[in-house]
Structure 1
Amino acid sequence: MPPPSTPAPTPAPDLPARALDTTPENPWPVRLLSSKIEDYVSRMSPLWVEGQVVELNRRPGAGLQFMTLRDTDADMSLTVAMSTHVLAGHGDDVAPGAHVVVHARPGFWPRRGTLQLQAREIRAVGLGELLARIEHLRRVLAAEGLFDHDRKKPLPFLPGTVGLVCGRESKAEHDVVVNARERWPQVRFEIREVAVQGPSAVPQVSAAIAELDARPDVDVIVVARGGGAVEDLLPFSNETLVRAAAACSTPLVSAIGHETDAPLLDLVADYRASTPTDAARRIVPDVREERRGVALARERLRSAVRTRVDREQAGLDAFRSRPVLADPVTMIDRHEELVAHHLRMARRAFGDRVTAASAQVDRLAAQVRALSPAATLARGYAVVHGPDGHVVRRPDEVSVDDRLRLRLADGELTATVTAPAPGTAPPPTPKSKDRTTRTKGTRP
């Protein structure tokens, strides 16, 4: 039922008409502010609102029933009042933890200064609808790339500190811690016990992940919860929680429920463990297996070194057994003989080449001497040069009284032409152009 309306008090003439005009010297009284809030809220229209029921006290025989409706993503809640007949038709469908949508009108109670919803109709959100919403959210987040494989971070081989987010004194915490320490006793844990179901699960788990992610000593974070009904695992498919896990820079392991359970946190986590026990086996190695592996590796290494040494020793023995190593001078002697042989061959070839070249030079020198004019002169011949120095080849090329130069083999002689050679005509006397030239051209 709506709260009883209170007549709005008439502001005193000296009070401000608007809240903006109030001052420390001239404030509004509480009754005036409450009446204005009531007037504002009363003008709001009825609406449908969704949330999770966290408190519901059914009071038999009472005309009004009250419950607390809380947001599934944030720590916010409202009180809802409804008549008994509105709640009567739902039985156990509307109970603490149930998701509901309520058609209500906001109402303000000025005497207590509280705001609550006056429910006119209430509907429980069925499991099928919740699963359909999760599937739609899965497609949206997948389209954003939050589930891509290239976003997955590798888990450390041996984490120094493991961050564990789990329920208070839960079986999941026992499974992770006990199995991890059985495999590696020195592993350290930073445990954050939070609500893992109900309306407080989303903010508490998200805050725990953010806190552990901010610690530099935490190498991997495990979010673990045991099995349960689908409704109990709904917080791990909440968009706020999934985005908080996606923003985590530390490798994150999801170990929610059993192997058949698949909340959205499994898809965004860097590794999805089928159970909390499987998470413990994945985050730390088995010390016994690692020691066995180290021992096996050492034995293989020792065997490989031994085999290599034996093979190299056998090679050295084979080299040492060769004749050349028994008497190393043998190899040098053979090369020395080869060098001496090539040296003899080179000297012989060089001598033959020099002898042949010398004979060829002598032959060419004889040919030059035979063809030389000096050889002809040595046989008694002479070269006659006329007055102008040219070589005289015919008698008619000289005249009487011309001085001739005779070149002999061992010197030169000078001769004068006294008479023309028999059978040759005297050379003609050149004609003068004038008397003076003609007189000078006559011979004595």
Structure 2
Amino acid sequence: MSSESGTPSTTAEHPWPVRTVARKIGDWIHRLGAVWVEGQVTQINARPGTQTAFLTLRDPSADVSMSVTAPMWLVRELGTPLREGDRVIVHAKPSFFFGRGTLSLRADEIRAVGIGELLARIERLRKLLAAEGLFSPERKRPIPFLPKGIGLITGRASAAERDVLVNAQARWPHVLFKVVNTAVQGPQAVPQILRALSTLDKDPEVDVIVIARGGGSVEDLLPFSDEALCRAVAGAGTPVVSAIGHEPDTPLLDHVADLRCSTPTDASKRIVPDVREETSRVRQMRDRGRRALHGWVDRETRLLTQLRSRPSLADPLGPIQRRSDDVEVHRERGRRAMLGLLARDQAEIANARGRLTALGPAATMARGYAVVQFTDDAGNLQVLRSVSQIEDGARLRVRVADGAVHAVTETRETEGGGP
């Protein structure tokens, strides 16, 4: 702390006594002006014969409370008796009690918040949340068909808890619930529900969270229209189901929840399937599948029968055999044609060979003729066709039918006997 001059007035060697600190704190608080405060009454201590009533005023959306003192006559002048859970507006001045070192509000006016005012505030909040898109159907998440774990936030041993558990287990006996009991009305409801919602939202085994409560008056259902609770539900990572009151009851929680159920019993029907209905549905689907399969098999059997009745499939080897016979006929015809062609060609060759033999030199020589050959200047044998082709003394080769002889010319005679 500092003195008014700005220099430190306390040190470890010169500390202030408690009375000095309390007095300075009191002086600072007493300089504060009066304020208007709204809250929920959680405790009333107004004993007969006393002049002062002691109240505890709590913020309905947070775990914060303050003590309020008021003259007894101020409490008695209220139109309706003040009860725990009532919403009030207090005009008070902060006061510091020097002896106990405590802070409280000293009230000089108390106004009860009527139902009309509460409903008007809820309507203003509804419009605000709707404008922010918290009621939009696009942001609502689907509820799992068969959740592995269900978180249930409800009052302890309440009819809502019993309705949800009994009906859900009757529909699906193996359903798993994680129940968190909280206050569902009064000043403790919102903080407890917020803690339970946070705990279940972090649990990986919980697939859906149900907030359930039976019917009640408008004042009893006020916690479920609290702004902090609505925003927490909208921001939860796990789908949230609202099952508050009866069919006509529509707190703001119904609008921000991913699924709104008219009653806790309705919630149990919406979060788990009915094992009997699902078994019947499976049986129907199985019967439909069986009939469809039988129909398909019958249809395909008829198609195969029609295909097998066609000539190409009724006697698949017949066409092949007929084609084989045709091939054999053509092959035999081709063989005969080829043999005839060969016979004609062989006859022609034999005839040509005979003519060639008759006209060839070998046959002529066999009749006594000979072929005379001489060697030309190049050393090649040439057939002698004229005596002028050789000179006297030329070497000759005389070929006869069975061989050849060599001779030397002595004289040449021309046609007519001349030399």
Normalising to structure 1: TM-score of the pair?
0.70
Q: Is the Cα contact below 8 Å between 2:94 and 2:106 reproduced in 1?
A: yes
Q: Please, which of 92, 101, 110 is the counterpart of residue 89 of structure 2? A: 101
Q: Please, which of 122, 125, 139 is the counterpart of residue 110 of structure 2? A: 122
Q: Please, which of 226, 230, 246 is the counterpart of residue 218 of structure 2? A: 230
CA apart distance, 1:267:
0.3
Distance 1:20 1:155, change over 3 A: farther
Residue of structure 2 equivalent to 1:368:
none
Unaligned runs of 5+ in 1: 1-10, 340-444
Q: Is the Cα contact below 8 Å between 1:255 and 1:273 reproduced in 2?
A: yes
Residue of structure 1 equivalent to 2:32:
44
Unaligned runs of 5+ in 2: 328-419
- Give the whole-Å Cα distance in 1 for the aligned partners of 2:275 and 2:221: 34
Count of residues in Structure 1 that have an aligned counterpart in Structure 2: 327
Residue of structure 2 equivalent to 1:322:
310
Residue of structure 2 equivalent to 1:131:
119
Tell me the secondary structure at the aligned position of residue 51 of structure 1: strand
- Give the whole-Å Cα distance in 1 for the aligned partners of 2:143 and 2:285: 23
Deviates further, 96-105 or 17-26: 17-26
Tell me the secondary structure at the aligned position of residue 195 of structure 2: helix
- Give the whole-Å Cα distance in 1 for the aligned partners of 2:10 and 2:234: 48
- Give the whole-Å Cα distance in 2 for the aligned partners of 1:25 and 1:104: 40
Distance 1:141 1:181, change over 3 A: same
Distance 1:32 1:266, change over 3 A: same
Please list, as runs of the form range in 1=range in 2, the aligned pairs for 1:220-259 lying within 5 A after superposition: 220-259=208-247
Distance 1:78 1:308, change over 3 A: same
Please list, as runs of the form range in 1=range in 2, the aligned pairs for 1:389-428 lying within 5 A after superposition: none
Tell me the secondary structure at the aligned position of residue 62 of structure 2: coil
- Percent of pairs identical after alignment? 56
Distance 1:328 1:246, change over 3 A: same
Tell me the secondary structure at the aligned position of residue 281 of structure 2: helix
Distance 1:17 1:27, change over 3 A: farther
Q: Deviations over 1:262-303 (max 9, x none)?
A: 000000000001000000011110011111111111111111
Q: Which amino acid aligns with 2:115?
A: L
- Give the whole-Å Cα distance in 1 for the aligned partners of 2:53 and 2:269: 50
Residue of structure 2 equivalent to 1:286:
274
Q: Is the Cα contact below 8 Å between 1:254 and 1:273 reproduced in 2?
A: yes
- Give the whole-Å Cα distance in 2 for the aligned partners of 1:80 and 1:337: 121
Distance 1:326 1:18, change over 3 A: same
Tell me the secondary structure at the aligned position of residue 224 of structure 1: strand
- Give the whole-Å Cα distance in 1 for the aligned partners of 2:124 and 2:65: 26
- Give the whole-Å Cα distance in 2 for the aligned partners of 1:335 and 1:110: 126
Q: Is the Cα contact below 8 Å between 2:46 and 2:52 reproduced in 1?
A: no
Tell me the secondary structure at the aligned position of residue 231 of structure 2: helix
Distance 1:23 1:16, change over 3 A: farther
- Give the whole-Å Cα distance in 1 for the aligned partners of 2:272 and 2:187: 32
Normalising to structure 2: TM-score of the pair?
0.74
Q: Which amino acid aligns with 2:204?
A: P
CA apart distance, 1:95:
1.7
Q: Please, which of 209, 213, 219 is the counterpart of residue 201 of structure 2? A: 213
CA apart distance, 1:62:
1.6
Q: Does 1:87 align with 2:75?
A: yes
- Give the whole-Å Cα distance in 1 for the aligned partners of 2:304 and 2:23: 108
Tell me the secondary structure at the aligned position of residue 238 of structure 2: coil
CA apart distance, 1:138:
0.5
Tell me the secondary structure at the aligned position of residue 231 of structure 1: coil
